[in-house]
Amino acid sequence: MTAVRTVTVVGASLAGLHAARGLRSQGYDGRLVVVGEEHHRPYDRPPLSKEFLTGDGDPGEGLGPLALTDPEDEAELDAEWLLGVRAEALDTAAGELRLAGGRALRTDGVVIATGATPRTLPLPPLDGVHTLRTLDDALRLRAELRAGAERAVVIGAGFIGAEVASSCAALGLDVTVVEAAPLPLVPQLGEEMARVCAGLHARGGATLLCGTGVAGLRGAGRVTGVELTDGRALPADVVVVGVGVRPVTGWLEGSGLALDDGVRCDEGCVTALPNVVAVGDVARLDRPGTARTVRAEHWTSGMLQGDVAARNLLAGSTVERFDALPYFWSDQYGARIQYAGRREPGDTVRILDGDPADGGGFLAVYERDAIPTAALGVDRPRPFMRLRRELARAPQPAGR
């Protein structure tokens, strides 16, 4: 691309930061602006549902161990940080980004890294009801968990829900997890392994209720309980809603960019415009070699896409595609779950090590026609990573 003088990264989290780093490491020496809706510099989110909630001591003013940058790093980035500022519109024809408060920013290139925001349920706004995405969310929840809350109800038994429930249990709360599906995590892990992971709740002393929805909340001003669609009522001092996220694309309505549960990109994070790329939770990429598109909410994808997107933005066309094997991990109830690959319904599961039935760790491989498609490890980090490497090298069944 010729004459790129200003690149604006919209979103100051992991993916946005790595796109900014990617631009600089690939020699971009023009103006670099990072716009972040939160007041914080980039920080790491995975600990927010885990050690940040259970950790001792005062989290203090700064980001502490959550910080993704340090002064030396920020000096290298040489970026202008516009924090606490929401992006409100993108005028691609004029090359202009409009910010809250009426300010407009001229820019030649744009990295869309606005992430995702928690889904909510149609519930009345009562004190004591939380979602967990940002550091400020975690600070509010943390304060309540330490202010004498005794009973927590977590709505949604996905990874965030399970991690929050695990943290609440570790803090000594009485925890119930409510899941609308008959079994949580089936789309991610398949029924057999989902059943094993659902068993971790009992290991941590939490109660998992599946196959029932939430009918409403009890309480005036502050929540006192959760009413279930099956007629039961659960007393609660704190309620955490963890029912997934939706990508933050509302500000791009009218931009002309294709939006479809995320910003549509080619396989190299590039939108229909070569000077606009998208990374992280908000990006929906073409899957190479398939007719599919995929939006990943994984930490590792966010980090790696930044580099690819930066390269393609600077090249002015897609010279590199993002094709890393999906990988995610979750720490809950003292167990470390790691998953890599692309499992699909009908893949079989073979246990390579350990025994899922005895409640300890194990290593499992998913297969189709004897070809490994994915790996799942619980407390088997070393052999898991070996298997992950083999998977990354293995030919995948067509169409994945």
Partner 1 sequence: MIPVCRIEDLPEGESVRIEAGDATAPIAVFHTDGAFYAIDDTCSHQDASLSDGWLEGCYVECPLHAALFDLRSGEPTCLPARKPVRTHAVTVVDGMLYVHPAVQTVPGRPVHAAPEEAVA
Which chain residues interact with partner 1 by CB under 8 A? 18, 21, 44, 46-47, 51, 70, 73, 299-300, 303, 329, 336, 338, 381-382, 384-386, 389
Q: Which is nearer to partner 1, 251 or 384 (CB)?
A: 384
Q: In the complex, what is the shortest distance from the CB of residue 315 to partner 1, in angstroms, rounded to a whole number?
A: 21
**Nearest-approach distance from CB 384 to partner 1, in angstroms:** 7
Three-state secondary structure call for residue 343: coil
Q: Strand, coil or helix: what is 138?
A: helix
Scanning the structure block, which residue is given the tokens 């246990």? 351
Smallest gap from residue 285 Cβ to partner 1 (A): 21
Closer residue to partner 1, CB minimum distance, 73 or 144: 73
Q: Which residue lies nearer to partner 1 by CB, 144 or 379? A: 379
CB 68 within 8 A of CB 38: no
- Residues 19 and 277 sit within 8 Å (Cβ to Cβ): yes
What is Dmax (Cα atoms) for the chain? 64
User: In the complex with partner 1, which residue's Cβ is closer, 73 or 297?
Assistant: 73
Closest distance of CB 382 from partner 1, Å = 5
Distance separating alpha carbons of residues 374 and 378, to the nearest angstrom: 14
Amino acid making up residue 263: V
For residue 377, what are its two tokens? 């490890």
Question: Which residue, among 137, 17, 133, has the nearest Cα to 79 in the 3D structure?
Answer: 17
The DSSP secondary-structure symbol of 395 reads P
Closest to partner 1 by CB, 67 vs 183, is: 67
Q: For the CB of residue 388, give the shortest distance to partner 1 in the complex, in Å.
A: 9
**What is the smallest separation between the CB atom of 62 and partner 1, expressed in angstroms?**
15
- The answer to whether the CB of 365 falls within 8 A of the CB of 357 is no
Nearer of residues 49 and 275 to partner 1, judged by Cβ: 49
Alpha-carbon distance of 41 to 29, in angstroms, equals 21
